Amino acid sequence: MKPINVGLLGLGTVGGGTLTVLRRNASEITRRAGREIRVTMAAVRDLEKARKLAGNELEIVTDPFEVVNNPDIDIVVELIGGYTLSKELVLKAIANGKHVVTANKALLALHGNEIFKAAQDKGVMVAFEAAVAGGIPIIKALREGLTANRIEWIAGIINGTTNFILSEMRDKGLSFDTVLKQAQELGYAEADPTFDIEGIDAAHKLMIMSAIGFGIPMQFDKAYTEGISKLTREDIQYAEELGYRIKLLGITKRTPNGIELRVHPTLIPTKRLIANVEGVMNAVLVKGDAVGATMYYGRGAGAEPTASAVVADLVDVTRMHTADPEHRVPHLAFQPDALSDTPILPISEVRTSYYLRMRAFDKPGVLADLTRILADLEISIDAMIQKEPSEGEEQVNIIMLTHETVEKNIDQAIAKIEALSTIAGKVTRIRLEELEK
Q: What minimum distance in Å lies between the beta carbon of 359 and a copy of itself?
A: 36
Q: Based on CB atoms, which residue is closest to a copy of itself, 33 or 344?
A: 33
Q: Based on CB atoms, which residue is closest to a copy of itself, 180 or 307?
A: 307
Strands 4-9 and 37-43: parallel
Say if CB 215 and CB 330 are below 8 A apart: no
Host H or E run for residue 317: helix 303-320
What is residue 388's three-state secondary structure? coil
Host H or E run for residue 297: strand 292-299
Angle at alpha carbon of residue 124, lines to 119 and 126, rounded to 5°: 70
Please indicate whether residue 205 is annotated as part of the active site.
yes
| Chain residues that interact with a copy of itself, rule: CB under 8 A | 17, 21-22, 24-25, 28-34, 129, 134-137, 140-141, 144-150, 215, 273, 276-277, 288-299, 304-305, 307-312, 314-316, 319-324, 326-330, 333-335, 338
Q: What minimum distance in Å lies between the beta carbon of 274 and a copy of itself?
A: 9
One DSSP character per residue, 136-160 reads S-HHHIIIIITTTS-EEEEEEE--H
**Hey, what amino acid is at 175?**
S
Q: What minimum distance in Å lies between the beta carbon of 30 and a copy of itself?
A: 8
Q: Based on CB atoms, which residue is closest to a copy of itself, 176 or 214?
A: 214
Cα 318 to chain centroid, rounded: 27
Q: Based on CB atoms, which residue is closest to a copy of itself, 323 or 383?
A: 323
Q: What minimum distance in Å lies between the beta carbon of 248 and a copy of itself?
A: 18
How far apart CA 81 and CA 86 sit, in angstroms, is 6
How far apart CA 287 and CA 272 sit, in angstroms, is 14
Angle at alpha carbon of residue 175, lines to 173 and 178, rounded to 5°: 115
Say if CB 231 and CB 167 are below 8 A apart: no
Q: What minimum distance in Å lies between the beta carbon of 407 and a copy of itself?
A: 28
Q: Based on CB atoms, which residue is closest to a copy of itself, 149 or 184?
A: 149
Q: What minimum distance in Å lies between the beta carbon of 33 and a copy of itself?
A: 7
What is residue 100's three-state secondary structure? strand
One DSSP character per residue, 19-53 reads HHHHHHTHHHHHHHHSS-EEEEEEE-S-HHHHHHH
Q: What minimum distance in Å lies between the beta carbon of 159 and a copy of itself?
A: 17
Q: Based on CB atoms, which residue is closest to a copy of itself, 9 or 29?
A: 29
Computed from CA positions of residues 69, 74, 80, 83, in that sequence, does the dihedral angle turn out positive or negative? positive
Say if CB 426 and CB 360 are below 8 A apart: no
Strands 351-361 and 405-406: antiparallel
How far apart CA 302 and CA 321 sit, in angstroms, is 28
Among residues 140, 205, 247, 416, the one annotated as catalytic is 205
Q: Based on CB atoms, which residue is closest to a copy of itself, 219 or 308?
A: 308
Say if CB 156 and CB 277 are below 8 A apart: no
The pair phi, psi for residue 365, each rounded to 5°, is: 90, -10
Q: What minimum distance in Å lies between the beta carbon of 175 and a copy of itself?
A: 25
Q: Based on CB atoms, which residue is closest to a copy of itself, 141 or 174?
A: 141
Q: What are the residue numbers of the active site?
A: 205
